[in-house]
Amino acid sequence: MLSSHLAGPVLVIGTGLLGTSVGLGLRAKGVHVYLSDISPTAAGVAQDIGAGTLLEHQQIAPELVVIGAPPDVTAALVGDALLAYPNATVVDIASVKGSILAGVLADERLGQSDTSRYVGTHPMAGREKSGPAAARGELFTSMPWVICAHEGAEASRVKAAESLAIDLGATMHRMSVTEHDESVALISHFPQAASSMIASRLLNAEGHQLALAGNGLRDTTRIAASDEKLWIQIFSHNAAALVPILTGMKDDLDRLINTLQNPQGPGALLDLSQLMTEGNAGKARIPGKHGAPPQAFALVTVLIDDRPGQIAQLLTEIGDAQINIEDLRMEHSAGHQVGMVDVSVVPGRRDELIDVLTKNGWKVAQ
């Protein structure tokens, strides 16, 4: 078992997707984890899948308490935990930070020595699913984890919060709550709003239209499946940072509508070209997964028969050719006994991959 920075025990309050993922990740490091949730079922499932031990009537003195509940109850749960466990560091992992810090500092039950043990944090990893059954111990590996220590936080408490991120394999980013909320409004909350709006256009789509859906629609709507109860809280807690970004989008939309109302008009084509090139440039600024520099991988699509062992064979042959796979995705072709595997590789190895696979008899769609 790998050694951990945290000694434990750690108490996770709120054992849904995120809290259970924290429990699973810490258990894999050998840290003792207790689990608690307002829903006995959520806590029970988390225990059953190995995220820790149910907190029932045991008297515990946790080193760290992690609040993994929704944003609207987080500040109150932080306050409860600071009072219930007077020696513990208490962190939350909610997606918004300013409103929660304000709630904790305004809690009249707490003195300065209590709030000095609180550190707000936010792992930038998640899924469009919720609940403990969707949890993964590796969720945070190489993903950013923001630490938003407030002015009154004790250094040793900040270190404990950082130890949690390190033990779970995340990369640490320190910032103020304001910097955090503005950043995530742009890179997380705005994309969620845009994805939900794109998907909501489909409500009245005809079946024959939807039957044509390809990767463009799937790529832009994955997170539209996210939990509505969680996101109404995130949007409303971070409204001030989100409004300017949505206003900028509205201006762009107005400009596009204007241009398309007269697509042969003077400057219209230049306007459309600008929309695309600005989008290309923005996309190129997104770092590669796991913090790597931006890199456009080359995609090779391989057609495989829909029968057992095909993917394993494909991966073995790519491995034998000493070509590293950067990303892998599989799609089924509706109504056909065929699958399509998208293999991403560094651009310099693309032609070689196509050669190897074609020689080995695979059908490669170029």
Ligand X SMILES: O=C(O)C(=O)C[C@]1(C(=O)O)C=C[C@@H](O)C=C1
Binding residues vs ligand X (CB under 6 A): 95, 124-128, 188, 223
Residue 349: exposure state from Cβ atoms within 10 A (0-12, 13-18, ≥19): buried
| Cα–Cα nearest to 321, from 296, 302, 340 | 302
Residue 6, CA distances (Å) to 88, 134, 142, 241 in order: 12, 25, 18, 34
CB of 110 to ligand NAD, least distance (A): 17
* Stretch of 15-23, 147-155, 254-262, 305-313 lying at the interface with ligand NAD (CB under 6 A): 15-23
Nearer to ligand X, 128 or 179 (CB): 128
Q: Which does residue 188 bind out of ligand NAD, ligand X, none, counting CB within 5 to 8 angstroms by kind?
A: ligand X
- Quick one: which of 52, 98, 120, 126 contacts ligand NAD (CB under 6 A)? 126
Verify cis geometry, omega within 30 degrees of 0, for the bond prior to 9: yes
* Stretch of 65-73, 161-169, 269-277, 326-334 lying at the interface with ligand NAD (CB under 6 A): 65-73
CB of 284 to ligand NAD, least distance (A): 25
Q: Which does residue 14 bind out of ligand NAD, ligand X, none, counting CB within 5 to 8 angstroms by kind?
A: ligand NAD
Residues 96, 71 contacting (CB under 8 angstroms): yes
Distant-in-sequence contacts of 125-131, Cβ < 8 A, 24+ apart? 125/170, 126/17, 126/18, 127/17, 128/222, 128/223, 128/224, 128/225, 128/226, 128/227, 129/17, 129/225, 129/227, 130/16, 130/17, 130/227, 130/230, 131/16, 131/17, 131/42, 131/45
Show the DSSP H helices in the chain as ranges.
17-28, 40-48, 71-84, 98-105, 112-115, 155-167, 177-184, 190-200, 207-210, 215-221, 228-237, 239-261, 268-284, 310-320, 350-359
CB neighbourhood size of 338 (10 A): 13
Q: Which x/- pattern over 265-304 shows residues binding ligand NAD (rule: CB under 6 A)? A: ----------------------------------------
Beta-ladder partners of 319 = none
Q: Which does residue 185 bind out of ligand NAD, ligand X, none, counting CB within 5 to 8 angstroms by kind?
A: none
Count interface residues toward ligand NAD (CB under 6 A).
29
Q: Which does residue 101 bind out of ligand X, ligand NAD, none, counting CB within 5 to 8 angstroms by kind?
A: none
Nearer to ligand NAD, 182 or 227 (CB): 227
Q: Which x/- pattern over 224-243 shows residues binding ligand NAD (rule: CB under 6 A)? A: ---x--x---x---------
The yes or no reply on residue 338 touching ligand NAD (CB under 6 A) is no
How many Cα atoms occupy the beta-carbon half-sphere of 298 within 13 Å?
A: 14
CA quadruple 227, 233, 234, 235: dihedral, nearest 10:
100
Q: Which does residue 71 bind out of ligand NAD, ligand X, none, counting CB within 5 to 8 angstroms by kind?
A: ligand NAD
Enumerate helices (H) and strands (E) in the chain, giving the number of each. Answer: 15, 12
CB of 123 to ligand X, least distance (A): 7
Q: Which x/- pattern over 28-47 shows residues binding ligand NAD (rule: CB under 6 A)? A: ---------xxx--x-----
CB of 16 to ligand NAD, least distance (A): 2
The yes or no reply on residue 139 touching ligand NAD (CB under 6 A) is no
CB of 307 to ligand NAD, least distance (A): 35
Residues of this chain that bind ligand NAD (CB under 6 A):
13-19, 37-39, 42, 68-71, 73-74, 77, 93-95, 123, 126-127, 130-131, 227, 230, 234
